[in-house]
Structure 1
């Protein structure tokens, strides 16, 4: 998986660089590259095709919240399957993943420091308006 930091020359269809995934969230989900890829795709979509009447920062928050909520549901499904199997190791792993996903979704966790997104929007505000 590539990130904006890995390829600063990468641009979106509108010529802008991809917006950053919040650092806490990126760190928390570092072992889940597909989750990071999905987050990046959703943020990219907001920048490429924003709703005209809703502030872009708010749209980014909705995208992050929507993705992390989906990650929680997925983790809960995995926990339910592990519990049905009776495998203690799988249950412990699924419980840990569920806790992590809840923390990632939290304003005190993964969605706590969004200054990189604010800086990105400030830097490119003229292009996005």
Structure 2
């Protein structure tokens, strides 16, 4: 997933923070995977919230390049939120 989001350095930094916290926090009643899921969604969701209005504004502008770029960003954020994308990452031992 980090490779997929490489163009979004701020988001990948926040995801790396999640990885660090989850892997270094002692086990609890909540599984490591459950904590990771909650924290990843907490980091990705704001980016999705920002991407939607950006896409809407691009469509209103009518600029094909801007529309394509914002559609790509929104699609990428939507994919990143899916568990199947990051469940195979080897970042959560």
- List runs of 5+ in structure 2 lacking aligned partners: none
For normalisation by structure 1, the TM-score amounts to 0.59
C-alpha change, 1:94 and 1:46, in structure 2 (3 Å) is: same
Q: Does 1:37 align with 2:13?
A: yes
* Structure having the larger proportion of residues in helix: 2
Distance in 1 (CA, whole Å) between partners of 2:37 and 2:81 is 11
Q: Does 1:26 align with 2:2?
A: yes
Contact 2:48–2:74, Cα closer than 8 Å, also in 1 = yes
Q: How many pairs align?
A: 93
Q: Does 1:113 align with 2:88?
A: yes
1:54: which partner in 2? 30
What is the Cα deviation at residue 43 of structure 1? Answer: 3.2
Distance in 1 (CA, whole Å) between partners of 2:87 and 2:48 is 17
2:75: which partner in 1? 99
What is the Cα deviation at residue 70 of structure 1? Answer: 2.3
